[in-house]
Structure formats: structure tokens, C-alpha cells
Amino acid sequence: MPSRVSKLLGQVVRKNLKPRTRLNAWRWAEANVELDRRFSAIEGPYKADYTPYLKIFHEWLSDPFVNEITFEKPRQVGGTTFLANGMMFAVVEDPGPVLYVTSTGSPGNAQAFAEREWHPRVELCRALRELKPDDKDDYKTTEQHFKSCTVKFAGAQSTNNVMSRPVRWLFMDEIDTWPQGSESEAPTTEIAEACTISYGLSKKIVRVSTPTVPGGAIHVQAERGSRHRLHVLSPFAKDKPRFELKLEMLNFHKMENKNKENGRWNLDAVRKTTTLTCPYTNLDIPMTDKAWMVNEACEDNVGWVSTNPHAPSEHKSGQISALYSPMMTWGDLAVLFLQRKDAPGGLQDFYNHYLGLPWERKKAEIKQNDIEILVAESPAYDRPEIGAMAHNLPFNLNVILTMADVQQSGFWWGQSGLRVTAEKKIEHYVLDWGAAASFEDLEKLMDREYTGPNGDAMKPYRGLIDSGYIAKRENGVYEFCWANDGLWFPCQGRVLENGLLAPVRETIFTHKGVDFEAVQFRDDLAKEELYISRIKDRVRPLFLPQKIDIQLIQQWMDEKLISKKTERGGEKLVWKDHGNNHLGDVFKQAIVGEWLLTDALLNPDGEDDGDEANKEGAIAEEANSAA
């Protein structure tokens, strides 16, 4: 604990290090910052009243008694503008070495941010232009030696650049996607923060990020800080206590906007009519009242409430959702929620990117009873006889897929059928599974015929084959796909750290000078969809035949989502198996195949019926947009 003497000395130091201007950071920005269409949705002088909830964060920037600022945010609330304003303010009014570390590891991204955001802002700001060095060699893309201080840009994985010199101002962007460290190296956030130690009480650490999970870097830091939340008044109950805007307060007007027969939403109507329910009167607060509610709450910060009484006074943190944003209406958010709630990873995307909240995953373990319930709730149908090349089904299918998981000495395979209902929903039927000894066995599976009540025999449309096992990847998988001329596609699981943000992506692999169409998918999202959404919670249909064998049961039960201690003492959820999860990997690929085909199945003619919420095939596009 600091002694009384050190605290008094600290107050003297801080008093002497106050910014040169009497203006706080947002008032300074209004007087000096010009926005441009090259980097902003609006043009002209910066106006703090456009995003009034950012005023308090700017005030913390210019408060000499605040050393750390943590902003846990969604998209579309002005986070980038806040960061840029802070950097400009630092250079002109409160100079000291500045380091900005971007959200991804490649130095190219730091350069892109500098070119796209920073340099245009400098040219538009007279106060900054006057501080540019006389020697052009001192003003480079990712490092500028202003007359007042140096500004440097670095990528989060460029640890040598991050730790190269002491800094007074540290701006850290999208820290939840930074390297989290290992047994031999600390997380990049800690490496960067260590660079501020020599500046003691005059340092400023600014963290701005969209959260991912509760154990993510931004949420952990936000919880340690003051945890400020913005509370508003109801225009219908101004004498009642303030309240925080929540998603569950939105009224989508279900009776008027949802078709009772097919369960589909009229999105245009939802966008226009969504209101907020007053928690005291149950009256509908129209969107036109939002500006008054937010502005009133931000006037002199009367609506901001610290929810962490034990936070250190020098660490201020705040969280806000897009419900407060002037850039999105409540109807916009309602539509986005309806679009994403049934998409793979869609709810996490919505919570992270639009509510600014971490997505709390839950531990999951498949029990035999879960699978037996799935069988009991499925329509009655049988598996093909072993080795049979023809099989009759009591229903018609729209498409059949074959999947294969590659092992060192053989394969596990499965077949799934997809059926589109009259309500334009996709039903997923597990048809068959087993082991195979050779590529020839897999080829034979593609000739199996399934016949429904309409009398039409259908063969598998395409095959997805795991290309991750190194022995088979180097000795046969790509050659097998090439020989089958587009009937089979290499399929490869990836994680967020590999840079794959979308649930699934079609790409091109090059092997021995030959290009292959291939599929990459988010392994964690596919597992959550299969094991949790389909088997455990049964929120989307996955049907099983009447007679299943112990192999399927045991292999589906082999993989679990468990809690694991991190290298830094925290906890995270990870998927763990005992090496007998092959049929899980097989039908994980079946889920990926469904994702790929959804748009074509629901919109076979490529027609746009205007009902975006029911276009489940827009999954990959939505996820890429969110990324």
C-alpha cells in the first residue's frame, strides 16, 4: 500500500503534469478535430454531443488522477474516434511518448491504421500539423517524431516493437484478439503495460476493445475498474429511478410483425416499429425519445453510475451497448438480433459486437440420455443395411452429403441428408456412419442411392474430407480430391487465433503446384453447434435413425467442453477429448456442409423475398460483416 508521503508526492507530481490547456479532452477535440469521410461516417468539426456518452471517457483522459481507462464496447459507438482524439490530445496538450498497439499481430495492420486513420486526422488538425518535424525522415508511416513527442504504431504480435522503449501514453485497441501468452512469455497486454512503468503516476493506459468471453482481457480489466454504466430516465416516469437500457426491453411487436402461419418476421416492419418498453408504465417509448434520454443522462455525467465501490480511484472503466448509439436505431438492433440468433456463433456475435457484452459459454458434456432423447424425438426411419447400395426413406430429401475423418490407417465416415420444410426451415437427418479402409471405399459411398416417397433415387451431392491429418494430407487426400474432380472437398478446422472470423469460408489450397477448392471452418463453432445446439439443447433439428450403435454413442460422448486454468491463473473453456471422437468430427463436417448449402437450399432461385431474418444462408456473409 502507498504511504501517506508517497500519495502526497504523487498529488504534487500530477498537479505539475496537468495538460497545458484548461479544456478537457472532449472540449479540446471540439475546438481542434476535424472529421472526414475517409475515416468517419460524418464530416466536419467533431461534436461531442453526437456521441455524448463518450464525454466521460474523454474527461478521464485529461484527468491527472486517472492512470488507466478501460472501455468495453460494441461496434458503432465511436470507439475509434475516442482513441484517435486521445492520441491527438496527448501529442498537443499533454505530451509524452505515445504507443498505439493495434488489434492484430501483423505490422501491416498497424501501418493500415496509421495510413487510414491517423495521418488524415493529423493533416486536418492545425495544432498537430504545426508540431510535425521539419525533417521528413522523422515523419514515417508507423513512427513520427513530433516536436512535442514521438508516436509509434505496432502490431500486437510484434513484441519487439511493443517493448522497444518506455512510453507515457499507451493506447491498446481490440485487446481480446491479442496473443494471450504462454509458459515462456507474458501476454502482449502485460508486455505493453510494462513499458509505462518508468512514467509512474503520469502514465496513461487506455484499453478499448469489443469483448469476447468473461475471461477475455477487456472484460477482466473492466471488472477491475470502476465499472461505470449509463442509466437513463423514462420520458413517461421522470420521477422514477434511472435504469440501464437492456435488449429485453425492446418490443418487436410480435403480434403485428410475425406471421402466425409460418413463424417468419416482417423485418421492414420490425425495423420501423420497434420501441422500448418503459419499466414503470409498460408504455412504448418511441425511438424519437432516445436522443433526449441519452443526452439528459450524459449532461454533467448525471446518469453514469460506478458499480464497483472497491475499484482503485486511478482506474476508470465503462461499458455501453449500441442501444445508446446514434448510429443505430432500436429497430436496427432488433433486426440484427433476429438475423443472428439462430446462426452459428450468431448470438455471441450479437452480444459481443452490438451489446458490448462477453458471451458466457457453458461447460457441456454429452450423456447417453441426451442421444436417446434425440432418437425418441426423431421421425421413425432406419439406417441402411451394412454394405447396401440402395435404401428407402419415409421422407424426401433435398441434398445428401458424405463426410470422412482421416486416420493414419483408415477413415471414419458418415452420411447426412438435408430437407427443407414448408416453413423454409432445414431439417438435418443423420443417415449412416461407419469405418472405411481405403479411398476406394469412400468413392463407393458416393454411389449409394436413397429413395423417398416421391420415387426419385438420390446419390450424395458432395463429400467433405478432413485434410488436417498430416500423413494423409501429404500422401493422398489432395490427390484423392483432385482425382474425383470436384466431388470431394478438403475440409480443415481453424480457430480464431488463425485469423478465421467467419464460421465457414470457401478458399483455395495449393498442393504440389495444383490449386484445390477447399473449405475452412471455425472448429469451436462447429463443435458448439453439433454438441450443444443440436444434441444437448436441441434448439435446431438433428434427427437420428431408430437403431443406433454403441460406436456413435461413445464417440459423441468422448468430447467435452471443460474449464481449464490459464497460464496466468485465470480460467477458460476448452474442448477436450480422449482420442475417440472420430464420428464427432465426421458430423461436425456435416454441420459445416449445412452452413455452406443453406442459402442455396432456402433460396434455390436466388430470389430476394425481403425477409432477411429467415435467410439462414447469409450466415457466412453476416459473420464476415461482423468481423
Whether 315 maps to a domain, the answer reads no
Q: What percent of the chain has pLDDT over 90?
A: 67
Do 206 and 59 belong to one domain? yes
Whether 321 maps to a domain, the answer reads no
CA 533, CA 249: separation in Å to the nearest integer? 26
Give φ, ψ of 333 to 5 degrees: -70, -35
Do 351 and 377 belong to one domain? no
CA 332, CA 323: separation in Å to the nearest integer? 10
CA 465, CA 176: separation in Å to the nearest integer? 32
Residue 565 has pLDDT above 90, yes or no: no
Do 392 and 507 belong to one domain? yes
Residue 620 has pLDDT above 50, yes or no: no
Residue 65 has pLDDT above 90, yes or no: yes
- DSSP assignment of 504-543, as one string? EEEEEEEETTEEEEEEEEEHHHHHIIIIIIIIIS--S-EE
Residue 249 has pLDDT above 70, yes or no: yes
Q: What is the pTM of this model?
A: 0.77
Q: What pLDDT, on the 0 to 100 scale, is given for residue 624? A: 33
Q: What pLDDT, on the 0 to 100 scale, is given for residue 23? A: 85
Environment class of residue 453 by beta-carbon count within 10 Å: exposed (0-12), middle (13-18) or buried (19+)?
exposed
Whether 442 maps to a domain, the answer reads yes
Do 572 and 593 belong to one domain? yes
Classify residue 116 by its DSSP letter: I
Query: Cβ distance 66 to 314 under 8 Å?
Result: yes
CA 572, CA 187: separation in Å to the nearest integer? 15
Residue 596 has pLDDT above 90, yes or no: yes
Q: Which residues pair with 547 in a beta bridge?
A: none
Residue 165 has pLDDT above 90, yes or no: no
Do 237 and 125 belong to one domain? no
Grid coordinates representing 229 are 454504466
pLDDT, tens digit (0-9, with 9 covering 90-100), for 188-205: 889 999 999 999 999 999
Looking at 95-252, list the stretches that DSSP marks H as alpha helix, in order from N- to C-terminal side: 107-113, 119-124, 126-129, 159-162, 188-194, 217-224
CA 497 to chain centroid: 12
Whether 344 maps to a domain, the answer reads yes
Helix axes 368-376 and 550-557, enclosed angle (nearest 10): 130
Residue closest to 247 by CA, chosen among 357, 344, 346: 357
Q: How confident is the model at residue 106 (pLDDT cuts 50, 70, 90)?
A: very low
Do 163 and 25 belong to one domain? yes
Max CA separation in the chain (angstroms):
90
pLDDT, tens digit (0-9, with 9 covering 90-100), for 503-527: 888 888 787 787 878 899 999 899 9
Do 579 and 505 belong to one domain? yes
Q: How would you list the strands of the sheet with 284-285, edge to edge?
A: 250-251, 275-277, 284-285
Query: Cβ distance 251 to 596 under 8 Å?
Result: no
Grid coordinates representing 100 are 498505439
Grid coordinates representing 47 are 461534436
Of the chain, the end-to-end C-alpha distance in Å amounts to 42
- DSSP assignment of 387-427, as one string? T-SEEE-SS--SEEEEEEEE-SS-EEEEEEEEEE-TTS-EE
Q: Out of 194, 222, 250, pick the residue that ends a domain.
A: 222
Query: Helix/strand/coil (H, E, C) string of 130-144?
Result: CCCCCCHHHECCCEE
Q: What pLDDT, on the 0 to 100 scale, is given for residue 286? A: 97
Whose cell is 416421391? That residue is 454
Residue closest to 349 by CA, chosen among 165, 79, 624, 128: 624
More confident residue, 267 or 604: 267
Whether 286 maps to a domain, the answer reads yes
pLDDT, tens digit (0-9, with 9 covering 90-100), for 301-340: 999 999 999 999 999 999 999 999 999 999 999 999 999 8
Question: Which range among 158-172, 234-248, 410-424, 563-577 shows the weakest confidence by mean pLDDT?
Answer: 563-577
Do 55 and 91 belong to one domain? yes
Please enumerate in sequence order all residues whose Cβ is within 8 A of that of 210, keeping only pairs 6 or more positions apart, or say none: 72, 73, 74, 75, 174, 176, 218, 352, 353, 356
CATH number for the domain harbouring residue 23: 3.40.50.300
CA atoms within 13 A on the CB side of 108: 1
- DSSP assignment of 301-320, as one string? GTTEEE--TTS-TTEEEEE-
Whether 541 maps to a domain, the answer reads yes
Q: Out of 178, 194, 222, pick the residue that ends a domain.
A: 222
Query: Cβ distance 607 to 261 under 8 Å?
Result: no
pLDDT, tens digit (0-9, with 9 covering 90-100), for 571-586: 778 889 888 999 999 9
Residue 158 has pLDDT above 70, yes or no: yes
Q: What pLDDT, on the 0 to 100 scale, is given for residue 587? A: 97
Q: What pLDDT, on the 0 to 100 scale, is given for residue 79? A: 92
Whether 316 maps to a domain, the answer reads no
Do 340 and 385 belong to one domain? no
CA 415, CA 515: separation in Å to the nearest integer? 27
Q: Which residues of 406-428 are buried (b: 16+ CB within 10 A; e: fewer)?
A: beeeebbbbbbbbbbeeebbbbb
Grid coordinates representing 330 are 432500436
What's the domain range around 555?
Answer: 364-605
Q: Which residues pair with 234 in a beta bridge?
A: 237
Whether 121 maps to a domain, the answer reads yes
Do 205 and 280 belong to one domain? no
Q: How confident is the model at residue 3 (pLDDT cuts 50, 70, 90)?
A: low
Do 266 and 184 belong to one domain? no
Amino acid at 89: F
Number of independent structural domains in the chain:
3
Do 379 and 476 belong to one domain? yes
CA 212, CA 353: separation in Å to the nearest integer? 9
